Amino acid sequence: MSDFIDPIIVPKRVLSTGEMIPCIGMGTFGSDRFTAEQVSAAVAGAIRRGYRMFDCAAVYGNEDRIGKVFAEAFVENAVRREELFVTSKFWNDMHGKGDVLLSLARTLKDLRLDYIDAFFMHWPFPNYHAPGCDGDARNPDSRPFSADEFMAVWRQMERIHDMGLARNLGMSSMTIPKLEAVLPRCRVLPTLIEMELHPAFQQPALFDYCVKRNIQPIGFCPIGSPTRPDRDKTPDDVADTEMPEVVAAAKAHNVHPAVVCIKWAVQRGQIPIPFSVYENEYVSNLRCTTEDPLTPAEMEAIGKADKNCRLIKGQVFLWEGAKDWTELWDE
């Protein structure tokens, strides 16, 4: 198979537990544009091209299809379960008593797995919106972050970790003030934190905060999510693939600017989880981690080009009386 990238040559990261994890995963959020069939077909192809990490979530609405693909891959000996690092997340409407175990049970059933490598709290509050809603939609039950409410959910996560059903626990879309409020209260610490990370939004303080505490950052929207839902687009958003520093490196390495975003992410130290349903794209994204690294000068130029441009602003999670989306991020 010509487009097979041997997982052995894909760089790894070591988690605080000592466990190894690939330096890149595949995202599975269809952004309300790609069907579950398209996304699961990409997962099937990606396994056979050498991907070993997949970022799933209940709210992406495709875990049952991806589970079928995993089961077929195991039967066909395309991969063994223990070679995969599968993550999932429970949605914001599952923060009540008993809900985390229930969500994990559903996810395991859908993914046809008997444990998950890492289970994430998708957002640090119970605010949710209807799938596919527009950017102005508000849920009257939404409320600000509460460390006590967060910890009640985290205690449930610690129990599924104790049971061995989730090998690692993760948080997502956190801020330093929120982490300061909850980390000292965790009995089982997160080994991974998902955050938006791409050249135009590098979150250096949060990134360093996690690395210092031996928590591995996973970077979502690593290419600047050009196909994100329309509700997450605003006129001021910067396109990462058009940033001069990214374009210059792309020309020098004769690759698409998207590939430069992935190289930059891996070399910086986060685990990017790019999404694509196109084989040529997802193969390039994996292959680029194994060859032709960016030079220190290119890394520095992109590092200095940060625009502090958050794309996933989360405005649909705002509560009544909130100023604007910056309040979600403690800004």
Ligand X SMILES: NC(=O)c1ccc[n+]([C@@H]2O[C@H](COP(=O)([O-])OP(=O)(O)OC[C@H]3O[C@@H](n4cnc5c(N)ncnc54)[C@H](OP(=O)(O)O)[C@@H]3O)[C@@H](O)[C@H]2O)c1
Q: Would you tell me which residues interact with ligand X (CB under 6 A)?
A: 27-29, 31, 55, 122, 172-173, 194, 220-228, 256, 258-259, 273-276, 281, 284-285, 312
209 is catalytic: no
Minimum Å gap between C-beta 182 and ligand X is 17
- Extract the tokens encoding 97: 């008593």
SS3 call for 272:
strand
Pairing of strands 85-90, 118-121: parallel
| Residue 92, number of CB atoms within 10 A of its CB | 19
Q: Which helix (H) or strand (E) holds 260?
A: helix 257-268
Identity of the residue, 100 or 273, whose beta carbon is nearer to ligand X in the bound complex: 273
Catalytic residue among 60, 128, 209, 282: 60
Least gap, CB of 320 to ligand X (angstroms): 23
Take residue 166 and report the two structure tokens written for it. Answer: 């989730």
* Smallest gap from residue 75 Cβ to ligand X (A): 25
How many Å apart are CA 173 and CA 169, to the nearest integer? 14
Residue 219 beta carbon to ligand X: minimum distance, rounded to whole angstroms: 8
d(CA 119, CA 170): 6
Listed as own residue / partner, the contacts of 152-155 with beta carbons closer than 8 Å and 24 or more positions apart are 152/95, 152/97, 153/95, 153/100, 153/121, 154/121, 154/182, 154/185, 154/186
Continuous segment of H or E residues that includes residue 220: strand 216-220
Comparing CA positions, the residue from 179, 224, 178, 177 lying closest to residue 201 is 224
Closest chain position to ligand X (CB): 27
Print the SS3 string covering 148-210. HHHHHHHHHHHHHHHCCCECCEEEECCCHHHHHHHHHHCCCCCCEEEEECECCECCHHHHHHH
Q: With respect to ligand X, which residue has the nearer C-beta, 15 or 43?
A: 43
Nearer to ligand X by Cβ, of 156 and 270: the residue is 270
H or E, element range at 43: helix 36-49
Minimal distance, residue 198 CB to ligand X, in Å = 6
226 versus 269: smaller Cβ distance to ligand X: 226
Q: Give min distance, CB of 205 to ligand X, in A.
A: 19
Measured from the CB atom, the residue of 161 and 313 that comes closer to ligand X is 313
Strands 20-22 and 12-14: antiparallel
Residue 14 DSSP label: E
Cite the active site residues.
Answer: 60
